[in-house]
Structure 1
Amino acid sequence: MTGTTLAQLSSLAVYSAMGVLTLAMVMYSVYLARIAPTRTNSRVADDRELVAVGGAEVPAATNGPGLAAVDAEPVSMGARRAGGIAWMLTLLGTLLTVAGVVLRGLEVRRWPLGNMYEFAIVGCMLTLLTYVAWASRRDLRWLGLFVVGPVLLTLGLAVTAWYTDGSELMPSLRSIWLAIHVSVATLSVALFTIGFSLAIIYLIQARLEAADPRPASFMDRLPDSRALERLTYSIHVVAFPLWTFTLIAGAIWARQAWGAYWSWDPKEVWTFVIWTVYAGYLHARATTGVRRQSVAWIALAGFGCIIFNYTVVNMFLVGMHSYSGL
């Protein structure tokens, strides 16, 4: 196959993935709408109905670890069907995204990590693969909308604002460290993206649990705030060491490419800023007396720094890392 044909097939796969993921997002929305409890039977996890057992009061059984005991009714058939369709569409969208990345790699005959467009589609692929792998072990359909949404937005920006034709790498990028350093960086960003979504859901859930009375919504079917906060923390615990490796590997590569481990390049500086913010998140999380909501906001600030690093730094700040391709 010629490079032009591979480029066309790669673009077709990415556009097809966007269409499929759009349908998946719609079905996840339907799923969340149909699992919403009625106002008369909703309860907050921290205010579970008490039942008398042998003269003593104990909490009623929950719908699963960390889930609110909303009601005794199972999830409706319509909700299960919508969730199943959304899951299958997510799998298909993931496969199409993988195909788009592989075809791009075949087109350029290298790791497809040489410009912003390639970073974006690889990052989306890793985000989807992480979600699919995690959701294969536990029911995470409630999280699907909050993962597919950011992925779809990123793919949209990739094909409309960041797309560039396949080209040769700059001499300083022709190194095995491209596959090591940039791949790990992209994987850590994928994990941080899911962590960002979880932090948002946690903050919403915590606010709803503090409301009196609590308004009924699909959030009553999601894990309670404590479980969501633990999930948020657990994924950041995995992502942070990967970002640490990214920082160290980048310094080693910089020594080989430019003769210095650190040159105060804007990309280097903001990579360290991101590391510092997430280190602050983990430190605050381990500090007694710091409110969990405040800790979550630090995680959101860290993701904001990632967005700034990926967009503003790549596109507008001139430095040795000016590889956006735009």
Structure 2
Amino acid sequence: MPIDETIASYSDLAFKSAIVVYALVWIMLVWQFAVARTAPPRQLVTAGGGVDSDSVTPGRVIEEPKRPFAERLGAMGFSVLFVAVALHLLSIVLRGFATHRFPLGNMYEFTSMSCAAAVLIGLVLLREERYRGMWAFLLTPVLILLFLAGTVLHADAAPVVPALKSYWLPVHVTVVSIGSGVFLVSGVASLLFLYRLRQPAGSESSGIWGNLARRLPDAESLDRLAYRTTIIGFPIFGAGVILGAIWAEAAWGRFWGWDPKETVSFIAWVLYAAYLHARATSGWRDTKAAWINIAGFVAMLFNLFIINIVVSGLHSYAGLN
């Protein structure tokens, strides 16, 4: 069927609008993170733990203190984030309707889907206000990847190459893209965990870096978040690799051929398996495990960009002109 250029243009418009709204959300959340107080204001209390009765006029209604502007701005930014996600998902759905296929046929579409998965898993796991400061760091790689997707990696709406015309495309690539998005959250959590260790809770060190670190969740919470997300992403990504092997047998007559894409995917999977093992091993569960987790995420990025763009192989379906 011919490409619907009108719907394709709406898809591109929704994608660009999503980037603009994501950037607006990022600015608001960075503002909150940069200027928010690190501790709540003190209140005058009596020896019994209540409010000092001498400071209260009988019959007077005590109003709640007004929230600081930075906190209100951050709360508004988190609400606007749902608008950005809706526009992002709309761009993916419209791309599918425009091309009459599942919208995962090139690097532009894969990167967009992975970023959407990262933000959605973030909305599930980072909904508590104590994790609000993490959004400034999570949206940074999301914005960078979406910018690259909309510029360097962008491909016009078109049918997929004959090799991708298979029912395995939506199954295999969707699972892998979701797993990649989950690992993005995990990688950011481990990076912040290593940074937070330099400024443990209760540290009196001054300076901008110390103040910023204390606005993050404690190191234990960040480490636990990285572990939880990896537990979610590891079986998803592993299932994607297995499904890819099944598709390879149907398409090329073999389950595994050590193609560059297959090889680096396997290396990334092994690194994440090593992280989970190290996380449960005494003496490795802190910084060493976190570095292994970051190495796994670097392997994912290497697989996405270097393997698809630079290295020639059976999986060279980047869709770049």
User: Which of the five TM-score ranges fits, normalised by the shorter chain?
Assistant: 0.7 to 0.9
- Larger Rg belongs to: 2
What secondary structure does 1:214 align onto? coil
CA contact (8 A) 1:314 1:323 kept: yes
**Aligned residue number for residue 176 of structure 1:** 167
- For 1:193 and 1:212, how far apart are their aligned partners in 2? 29
Aligned pair partner of 1:154 in 142, 145, 151: 145
Quote how far apart the aligned CAs of 1:273 are. 0.7
Runs of 5+ consecutive residues of structure 1 not aligned to the other structure? 42-51, 54-73
CA contact (8 A) 2:19 2:84 kept: yes
**Aligned residue number for residue 7 of structure 2:** 6
**Aligned residue number for residue 253 of structure 2:** 259
- For 1:225 and 1:212, how far apart are their aligned partners in 2? 13
Matched residues, percent identical? 36
- Which AA in structure 2 matches 1:280? A
- For 1:239 and 1:324, how far apart are their aligned partners in 2? 23
Please list, as runs of the form range in 1=range in 2, the aligned pairs for 1:241-260 lying within 5 A after superposition. 241-260=235-254
**Aligned residue number for residue 165 of structure 1:** 156
Distance 1:212 1:222, change over 3 A: closer
- Which AA in structure 1 matches 2:158? S
Runs of 5+ consecutive residues of structure 2 not aligned to the other structure? 49-64
- Which AA in structure 2 matches 1:198? A
Number of residue pairs aligned between Structure 1 and Structure 2:
296
- Residue by residue over 1:269-311, the C-alpha shift from the partner in whole angstroms, topping out at 9 and shown as x without a partner, is 1110101111111111111122501110111111110111000
**Aligned residue number for residue 189 of structure 2:** 198
Quote how far apart the aligned CAs of 1:212 are. 6.2
Quote how far apart the aligned CAs of 1:211 are. 9.9
**Aligned residue number for residue 268 of structure 2:** 274
What secondary structure does 1:168 align onto? coil
Aligned pair partner of 2:113 in 122, 125, 130: 122
**Aligned residue number for residue 31 of structure 1:** 32
Aligned pair partner of 1:83 in 53, 74, 82: 74
Distance 1:162 1:75, change over 3 A: farther
Task: Say what the alpha-carbon RMSD is for the aligned residues.
Answer: 2.4
**Aligned residue number for residue 218 of structure 2:** 224
CA contact (8 A) 1:35 1:218 kept: no
CA contact (8 A) 1:35 1:76 kept: no
Quote how far apart the aligned CAs of 1:138 are. 6.3
- Which AA in structure 1 matches 2:227? Y
Quote how far apart the aligned CAs of 1:109 are. 0.8
Quote how far apart the aligned CAs of 1:139 are. 5.0
- Which AA in structure 2 matches 1:234? R
Quote how far apart the aligned CAs of 1:210 are. 8.8
Quote how far apart the aligned CAs of 1:182 are. 0.6
Quote how far apart the aligned CAs of 1:12 are. 0.7
Please list, as runs of the form range in 1=range in 2, the aligned pairs for 1:233-244 lying within 5 A after superposition. 233-244=227-238
**Aligned residue number for residue 16 of structure 1:** 17
What secondary structure does 2:102 align onto? coil
Normalising by structure 1, report the TM-score. 0.85
- Which AA in structure 2 matches 1:20? V
CA contact (8 A) 2:130 2:217 kept: no
